[in-house]
Structure 1
Amino acid sequence: MNSPASHPFSICVYCGSRPGARPEFAAAAQAVGQWIGQQRGQLVYGGGRTGLMGLVAEATRTAGGRVVGVIPKALVDKELANPLCDELHVVDTMHERKAMMAHRSDAFLALPGGIGTFEELFEIWTWRQLGYHDKPVGLLNAAGYYDAMLGFLAHSVRDGFMGEWQMDLIRTGTETTQLLEALRADVPKHAQDDRLAENI
């Protein structure tokens, strides 16, 4: 097993447990995993082997990266827990899952997905605005999947329920490599130091 300390960039990826209806979604997941692996980085994700989750994990592993899966007991069978993870943590609750994923990561990236992906993205974004962490958060808008959501968020700003500064806390993009490199560049040094000091 690879040592966590040998992989300085650890990124949490939120994405669908389904593949979605368009091939661009699968291509985006594979491209993200390939980039992580090529950088000898570490993927932290929900631990499943289906849909985009399985694709990003397999692409990371195949390209030489390290894969950490975190999955609650209740979803082990439903999400078909991935036995090929370098680490597979089975926890009791979704709260434990999300907390562990956050602690094990230097940055966060959302790919296309459903309500679980939306919930994870909005929670980690909310934590950022409240100052619970200062790690970068990204949104990969593959094939325009998030166009409507981004439009609604702009509407929320116009109607006074959000500020532009909150939108500035999330980095959006359509180019995989460019977005991932930007997220890595935004990681505060202490985040990596803290994670490695805790040997996680």
Structure 2
Amino acid sequence: MTTTDYVTNKPNDTTKPDKTICVFCGSSFGNNEIFAKNANDLGKSLAKRNWGLVYGGGSTGIMGSVARGCATNGGYVHGIIPSALISRERIDDEKFNEHLKSSIDNHDGSTPIPDLKEYGHTTLVKDMHTRKKMMGEEADAFIALPGGYGTLEELMEVVTWFQLNIHNKPIVIFNMNGFYDNFLKFIKDAIKNEFVSEKNGEIIKVAETADEVLKAIEEYKIPEGRFNLNWENT
């Protein structure tokens, strides 16, 4: 599947953002209201800079917060969600679900479904692999907010792919309220025990506010030490 398979489905292609940022985050709110507030602030900051958002397509938790923050402030938002996750990550809405069954039955992996203004444009896909592939292709950078197993898996996949020279897009952790402190300690321990090189330890940048996150993307420098692999003929 290529990028053009789904970009041409979007109703707002004429207002293409300067950059499109992929955000990984939880479909729950967590137990601290600062998570949702900071996610919403990030969405607003993206819209203010004319940076778009591509994300997992949910309306629940901080996933919904970042989407609403961007879309309701005039920003470009593209949510990509597998049909199996609709009941868990998308709040039931009459307009949204009215076309859902036929979309699931007939979609080809890139089916646009009815959009809700506060969540931008939504694409329904058949599985998690397609979701992540489409998000990665559209993104110019990646941000990880608080989340669970899925968020960590998505973050580590793009970090690993960066190390393997599959992409060179900035990766930033939004470490709100110290959420990722233990994970960052794991990276330091992996470097100390020589499972990760010091240079590849610089792949991930860390920020504590929405403005710092976007500044880290703007100032991102590709660290030396990535594996010099050629993927062109694979």
Q: Specify if TM > 0.5.
A: yes
Q: Aligned to 2:152, which of 99, 115, 118?
A: 118
Equivalent residue, structure 2, for 1:3: 13
Which 5+ residue runs of structure 2 have no aligned equivalent? 1-10, 97-114, 223-234
Asked if residue 21 in structure 1 is aligned to residue 31 in structure 2, the reply is: yes
Please list every run of at least 4 consecutive aligned residues from structure 1 whose deviation after the TM superposition is greater than 4 angstroms.
Answer: none
Q: Distance in 2 between matches of 1:127 and 1:168?
A: 14
Deviations, residues 6-49 of structure 1 (Å, cap 9, x unaligned): 31110000000000111221121011101011112210000000
Relative contact order (alpha carbons < 8 A, sep ≥ 6): 1 or 2 greater?
A: 1
SS across alignment from 1:63: coil
Provide TM-score, normalisation by structure 1.
0.88
| Among 89, 93, 98, the residue aligned to 2:127 | 93
Give, in whole Å, the separation in 2 of the partners of 1:6 and 1:97.
20
Match of 2:44 in 1: 34
Q: CA deviation at 1:187?
A: 8.6
Does 2:175 align with 1:165? no
Q: Is 1:51 matched with 2:61?
A: yes
| Higher Cα radius of gyration | 2
TM-score (normalised: structure 2): 0.76
- Alpha-carbon distance change, 98 to 187 in structure 1, aligned in 2, over 3 angstroms: farther
Q: How far apart, CA to CA, are the structure 2 residues paired with 1:4 and 1:12?
A: 20
Shift of residue 185, structure 1, vs aligned partner: 4.2
> How many residue pairs end up in the alignment?
188
Q: Judge conservation of contact 1:107–1:184 (CA < 8 Å) in 2.
A: no
Tell me the CA shift for residue 175 of structure 1: 2.4
Query: CA, structure 1 residues 45+187, in 2 after alignment: closer, same or farther (shift >3 Å)?
Result: farther
1:49/1:79 contact within 8 Å kept? yes
CA-to-aligned-CA distance 1:106-131 (integer Å, 9 cap, x gap): 00000001111000000011111101
Q: Is the 8 A contact 2:146 2:175 kept in 1?
A: yes
| Cα RMSD, aligned residues only | 1.8
**Equivalent position of 1:181 in the other structure:** 215
Map 1:68-107 onto structure 2 (within 5 A).
68-80=78-90, 83-84=115-116, 85-107=119-141
**Identical aligned residues as a percent:** 39
Correspondence for 2:182: 148
